[in-house]
Amino acid sequence: MAQLGFYYDMTVCTGCKVCQIACKDKNDLDVGPLFRKVFTFEGGTFPNPWAYNLSIACNHCAQPKCVPNCPTGALYKREKDGIVMHDRDKCIGCRLCTWSCPYGAPQYIEKLGKVGKCTLCADLLDKGEQPACVAACQMRALQFGDIEELRKKYGDNADIKPLPDSSMTHPSLTIKANKEAMK
């Protein structure tokens, strides 16, 4: 099975949140839930301050914690590409997945009484299009594709501050990080 994932270049990300907005719009989300989140981290002291941005969504992990903890089977890995999918019809809104995911990817949607999450825009991929967040990124800081190919091209780094240790879930993510973000 191929495993699709994300490459994120934080060295060029400006923190504009266009990826976050495109995802929110594509998924018709109200105020509150976000399937892609952009964070800004700052630190240091004069004369050496630093800042970096982090754009993160579901990492479609090789060993996701959310999938085995879903009591109804609403969360599952798609066979052909490893995307962690969500079947809203099977979801009972118990939120076990939200507590299981160390990345906070599944989001409870109050209005529906159910959970939702990034599906890497599987519907767009099936039509030969890019995920909304990738297509919207003005700086081209986000890419998607077969994670092994992305790792060969960009390296294999998913361990940055403040993300959890990648050995927990083996995320399908590789990041070009600023030196301040390295663990």
146-149, long-range: CB within 8 Å, 24+ apart, which pairs? 146/2, 146/3, 146/4, 146/5, 147/3, 147/4, 147/5, 147/172, 147/173, 147/174, 148/3
Structure tokens at 71: 């009591």
**Confidence class for position 182, pLDDT limits 50, 70, 90:** confident
Tokens 């923190």 locate to 15
Whole-model pTM: value is 0.93
7-46 pLDDT tens trace: 999 999 999 999 999 999 999 999 999 999 999 999 999 9
42-65 pLDDT tens trace: 999 999 999 999 999 999 999 999
CA distance 165 to 82: 20
Structure tokens at 144: 């998607």
